Amino acid sequence: MDKRPMSPMDRKALKDTLLFTLPAVVMVLIAIYIPFVMSGYYSLTEWNGISRNPQFIGLANFKTIFSSGSPEFVNALVFTFKYSILFIILSNVIALALAVALTRKFRLANFLRGMFFLPYIMSMTIVGFIWKFIFTQGFEKLYELTGWGVWNLSWLGDGRLAFFSLVLVGTWQSLGFYIVLYIAGLQAIPTEVLEAASIDGANGSQRFFKVVLPLLGPSITTCMFMSLTNSLKVFDIILALTKGGPGGATYSATLDIYREAFQNNNYGLGSAKAIVFFVIVLILTQVVLKVFESREVKQ
Amino acid sequence: MKKLLCMLLTAAALLSLCVAPAMAEDAAEINMFIASPEYADAVNELIAAYKEVAPNVTINYETTQNDYPTLLKTRINAGMTPDIFSTTSGKEIADYAEYSYNFASEPAAQAMDPAVAAMMAYGDGEIHGFALKGNYFGMLYNKAIFEEVGIEFPKTLDEFEAACEKLTEAGYQPVTTGFAEWWVFKHVMQHFLDAATDDPAALVAAFQKGEAHFADYPELYDNFFRFIDLCVKYGDNKPLETDLAGEDSAFGVGKAAMMIGQGAWVEADVLAIDDALQIGFAGYPVCDDPAKSQIIGGSDQALRINKDSANLQAVLDFVNWWYTSDYGKAWFCDVAGVIPPVTDAKVADMQIIKQGAELSQTDGAAALSICYSSDSFNQAMGEAIQAYIGGSIDKDACCAQIEAKWVELDGPAA
Amino acid sequence: MAQDESRSRALHIVFLIVIILLACLYIYPVFLMVDNSFKPFKEILTNVLALPSRLEWENYTYVIEKMEYFRLFVNNVVITVIGIVGIVVFSSMAAYILDRRDTRITKALHTFIITPMLIPFQTIMITLLKFMNIIHLNGTTWGLGIQYWGFGIPMATFIYFNFMKSVPSEIDESAMIDGASTLQTYALIIFPLLKTVTATVVVLDVMWIWNDFLLPLLMVNSSPSSKTLVLAAYNFVGSLNTKWHYALAAMVLAILPSVIVFVFLQRYIVDGVVAGAIKG
């Protein structure tokens, strides 16, 4: 992409830059950065989240996290990474496949897109309610019908299985979001590029892997980044389905922070964990973003 | 699309202008933000009735579900403490004491049931809360099934095991457990705590200081875990997946003969499934002594008055009216259908409440010992026992984990 | 040739059957939600999977009246419209300049604007309410709408930025040569070319804002003059006893308008808007 280098005389360009980004900068500052810095202060205090006087204790909370190892936090981090990896793979592969299918021209295409998008707007309480019944009553019926042992497993009551159930429902719930993004990306590919490939004798799968996929670079970056940040922050779906259970087997990092701050009444320690987690996420996402951006094919 | 957006935006701007003014005048406003959304309709009726009594007072009533404690903390810290808010009673009374009004000298406090008042006490004779309802905790059983199988409700653990065998033979699921919910365990555990000692408050305090151990109390170390094991053995197919709704359903349709971890609050739900259901209510079998099988009564939720309320007098007038007026006293039974937390009010005509009242007369009621611990601890305890049931830790590890959490979350250093 | 054609026709039919089956399976839980919203309470608890024995319209009439549906509907519209307009305008502006100028300043600004996506909302709840109270954006529909600018801009900017790359910079350069200012170029030339992305952003953000729960719960729950539909629907959800028949009906009613918007806006995510522009 040939961008104009900024010449020293081009002060107007700088003015434009600031003018165009000012509203966005001010708004994120107000809504997110200022509250974040304010709560960062509490990470330096011992505070239960209730009393009027947080007690300043310096870096003691951070020492607690790093020295005592905080096994619950570490477990939650491991869970979060495992969840994220599986979620990212599943949601991107399936969403891309469905997006390709749904951009084909057929009468029901629009309607079907809507169907795949619907779960995204369901409230989490309802998602939890419905899926609990599918896992219990639904699977029971399926077991009666088929006799397959897989339906008789306790998909929410066994720690290891609950992990897969959460990934499954999480993917189901947000797939529509990624489908929409991929569809928009696919629509932006000029048709003449595809036509040219066809004329050159490329078959369907060749066209997809050699032409479409490379041109989808920006969409893939977007979806990877979004699925990464969303899965690292996973919270609602767990609260709706397992509440971190059974026996604490499904606590994610955010849920652990929430538990520390609001249930255990250690708001200070919870804030410190939040900051540590934020730094981890920041590093991870920057790496992923760099990798994918460097692979994009320039149009 | 643009035109549409323009139109909508203009409409929005106009609307927000219309909405902005309003209110004003010198009338008092009470912001009431409490948990227990299941009583929303009843509370709204109460507020409507109060409007007739005090037309100048506007009560903004707000309720919410699980996120309540978080939201309350958020509001308090933003300087928006509600005039009336709720916490759990017992241990949490102290946590919020610096925000709550001591109304020991108000008529409402005098009208309060002494058992309820005990849970609201703070320091030297101060009363820092009132209750929306009293409660009964115990085991529910299906009277028809027990009659059909020809057994009495078990009062000892051996009888319990024998009853489970008989019920299984007769083709019933003996118990339904709700072990997917962390709070089911605190409701069960308190009965065993009460059996373990004459002074559960002191025992819990010892646990919180790290001075007491499960192994020293057979009622906890042996009986409680035996009870849990039996419930798993004779209970739901997927114990850690069965929640309150699953319990309601298994008990309501007459599949399960006993229901644990619950109390008076589930009656309406199971009757909604089968309104002819004959519900029996009893204490837990906790040991070999049938006399120790007692129900538990009291109030585990507290409503608190913000002591810095801008309209403190108006709030107090409302609460006094609620607890002492004829309408207010009758409201508990007639509108909300709950156990009145006040003395000299009539008792609702519900199966569990009636049996609970009778049983506490004849057999006595045990202490509401969940209130000596915080819910932070209770949740951690529930998770530890879930891990035990799931098989990821053994009994000793489970006990050690519970003991450690008691010190960590409720101990003197917390 | 004729054989080939019939083979591809057959393949197409197989494809249609598979994708329709898949969609039906996928939508089944949503179907269950609607299905159960028409049952009496008892039937929901005893058999979630069955069809209702009769349609219980009373669930809906009761809920519409109880939640003051039409009044709250207006609140939702106000919040969503204010939120969307701000997000779309400010994000596309920022993304445009961030893509076209490649300097250290724009790189820093880019990072600054999209990084908040990484901050879990729960960690700033307490201080957010505190701060919004100070600057008086709390408690009103328009205030909440403005707050959504801050929460929506990071993601929207990120999406716009990545799609902006496929809009060739020759287009705005030629406009500049014709004497248009940067603002004119953006507003008159570039923004119209972003229809597909804008439709995508609008769809995603309408769904999010319309159905959001936690932020409205913090900011506007206390008064019916500012409450949203989802908040009202949640009043039927109890911590112990949930009236599922009402809760489900209320949820269906709460999300229905956003589904209609989705179906309507779908048409704007159409083929090759950008490609067409290049051709022209």
* Helices within chain C (DSSP H only): 2-37, 41-46, 58-66, 69-100, 104-114, 125-134, 141-164, 169-177, 182-184, 191-193, 195-211, 214-219, 229-234, 244-266, 273-279
The Cα of C188 is separated from the nearest Cα of chain A by a number of Å equal to 15
Q: Are strands B29-34 and B58-63 parallel, antiparallel or unpaired?
A: parallel
The rounded percent of chain A whose pLDDT value lies above 70 is 95
CATH number of the domain that residue B230 is part of: 3.40.190.10
A154 CB within 8 Å of a chain B CB: yes
b/e per residue C4-40 (b: at least 16 CB within 10 A): eeeeeeeeeeeebeebeebbeebbebbebbebbbbbe
C139 and C258 in a common domain: yes
Give the whole-angstrom CA distance, residue A19 versus residue B210: 62
Q: Give residues 72 to 131 of C whose Cβ lies within 8 Å of A.
A: 86, 89-91, 93-94, 96-98, 100-103, 105-106, 109, 112-113, 115-120, 122-124, 126-128, 130-131
pLDDT the model gives residue A31: 94
Contact A120, A274 (CB under 8 A): no
Contacts of B185 (CB under 8 A, 6+ apart): B179, B261, B378, B381, B382, B385, B386
C110 lies in the same domain as C218? yes
Kindly report the average pLDDT of chain B as a whole number.
88
Collapsing DSSP to helix, strand or coil, B208 comes out as helix
Interface partners of B (3+ CB pairs, < 8 Å)? A, C
Q: Are residues C116 and C255 in the same domain?
A: yes
Instruction: Tell me the pLDDT band of C277, cut-offs 50, 70 and 90.
Output: very low
* pLDDT tens per residue across span B141-174: 999 999 999 999 999 999 999 999 999 999 999 9
Residues 45-84 of C with CB under 8 A from B: 45-46, 74, 77-78, 81-82, 84
pTM: 0.86
Same domain, C42 and C129: no
**Per the CB < 8 Å rule, is A157 touching B243?**
no
Q: Which residues in B lie closer than 8 A to residue A265 (C-beta atoms)?
A: 95, 374, 376, 409, 414
pLDDT, mean over chain C: 84
Check which CATH number belongs to the domain holding A115 and give it.
1.10.3720.10
Interface of C with A in 222-251 (CB under 8 A): 230, 233-234, 237, 242, 244, 247-248, 251
Pair C196, C69 in one domain: yes
Question: Is there a domain that residue B4 lies in?
Answer: no
When pLDDT is cut at 50, 70 and 90, the band that residue A221 belongs to is: confident
Residue A135 touches chain B, beta carbons under 8 Å: yes
CB contact under 8 A, A249 and B387: yes
Residues of chain C in contact with residue A43, where contact means CB-CB under 8 angstroms, are none
Same domain, C24 and C40: yes
Question: Is residue C106 a contact partner of residue C161, using CB atoms and an 8 Å limit?
Answer: no
CA-based nearest distance B235→chain A, Å: 14
Contact A73, A248 (CB under 8 A): no
Q: Are residues B129 and B147 in the same domain?
A: no
Query: Quick check: A270 contacting B, CB < 8 Å?
Result: no
Cis check: omega of the bond before A246, within 30 degrees of 0: yes
A252 assigned to some structural domain: yes
In B85-124, the residues whose Cβ lies within 8 Å of chain A are 95-96, 98-99
Q: How confident is the model at residue A172 (pLDDT cuts 50, 70, 90)?
A: very high
Cβ pair C225:B19 closer than 8 A: yes
Q: Contacts of residue C265 in chain B, CB cutoff 8 Å?
A: 1
B58 forms bridges with which residues in the sheet?
B29
Instruction: Indicate the angle between helix axes C69-100 and A11-28, nearest 10 degrees.
Output: 150
Amino acid at B407: V
Non-local CB neighbours of B304 within 8 Å, separated by 6+ positions:
B84, B85, B86, B87, B96, B99, B100, B101, B128, B129
State the angle between helix axes of B225-233 and B182-196 in degrees (0 to 180), rounded to the nearest 10: 140
Beta bridge partners of B86: B303
What domain range includes position B108? 26-133+301-342
What is the percentage of chain A residues whose pLDDT exceeds 90? 31
Among residues B136, B254, B253, B230, the alpha carbon closest in space to that of B177 is found at B230
Considering the domain architecture, whether residues C68 and C152 belong to the same structural domain is answered as yes
pLDDT digits (tens, 9 = 90+) for B312-365: 999 999 999 999 999 999 999 889 888 889 987 777 788 999 999 899 889 988
Phi, psi of B65 (to 5 degrees): -95, -130
Mean pLDDT, rounded, for C25-42: 88
ipTM of the complex: 0.86
The answer, yes or no, to whether residue A136 has pLDDT greater than 90, is: no
At residue C49, φ and ψ (nearest 5 deg) are -80, -20
Residues C92-143: tens digit of each pLDDT: 999 999 998 888 888 899 999 999 988 888 788 888 988 998 898 888 999 9
Record: contact B182-A157, CB cut-off 8 A: no
Give A28's pLDDT tier (boundaries 50, 70, 90): very high
For every residue of A121-179, DSSP letters joined together read GS-HHHHHHHHHHIIIIIHHHHHHHH--GGGGS-TTTSHHHHHHHHHHHHHHHHHHHHH
The more confidently predicted of residues A129 and A267 is A267
Nearest CA in chain A to B374: A264
pLDDT of C82 above 90: yes
Q: Is the dihedral of CA A263, A265, A266, A268 positive or negative?
A: positive
**C76 and C13 within one domain:** no
pLDDT, average across residues B37-42: 83
Q: Which of residues 152-211 of C touch B (CB under 8 A)?
A: none
State whether B279 and B165 are in the same domain.
Answer: yes
Looking at the fold, whether B208 and B331 belong to one and the same domain comes out as no
Token duo for residue B182: 């962390």
Between residues A116 and B172, the one the model is more confident about: B172
CATH number at residue C79: 1.10.3720.10
Mutate to test the interface with C, among A121, A169, A225, A254 (most CBs of C within 10 A): A121
Q: How confident is the model at residue A191 (pLDDT cuts 50, 70, 90)?
A: confident
Report yes or no: C215 and C141 within 8 Å, Cβ to Cβ: no
Mean pLDDT across chain A: 85
Q: Does C42 sit within 8 Å of B248, measured CB to CB? A: no
Range of the domain at C24: 2-57
Task: Work out how many domains chain A is built from and give that number.
Answer: 1
Element (DSSP H or E) covering residue B34: strand B29-34
Q: Mean pLDDT across the stretch A78-88? A: 96
Of B312, B342, B372, the domain-final residue: B342
Look at B108 and C214; give whichever has higher pLDDT: B108
Chain B residues with CB-CB distance to A264 below 8 A: 376, 409
Judgement on whether residues B262 and B387 belong to the same structural domain of the protein: yes
- Whether the Cβ atoms of residue B15 and residue C91 lie closer than 8 Å to each other: no
Q: Out of A29-38, B163-172, B280-289, C172-181, which region has the weakest mean confidence (pLDDT)?
A: C172-181
Total structural domains within chain B:
2
C91, closest residue in chain A (CA to CA): A24
Q: With respect to residue B268, please indicate whether it lies within any of the assigned structural domains.
A: yes
Same-domain pairing of C16 and C65: no
> Which run of H or E residues covers position A39?
helix A34-42
Out of C13, C38, C57, pick the residue that ends a domain.
C57
Count up the domains in chain C and report the number: 2
Please tell me whether residues B335 and B280 are part of one structural domain. no
Residue B266 near chain C (CB below 8 Å): yes
Q: How far apart are CA C99 and CA C93, in angstroms?
A: 10
Whether residues B111 and B39 share a domain: the answer is: yes
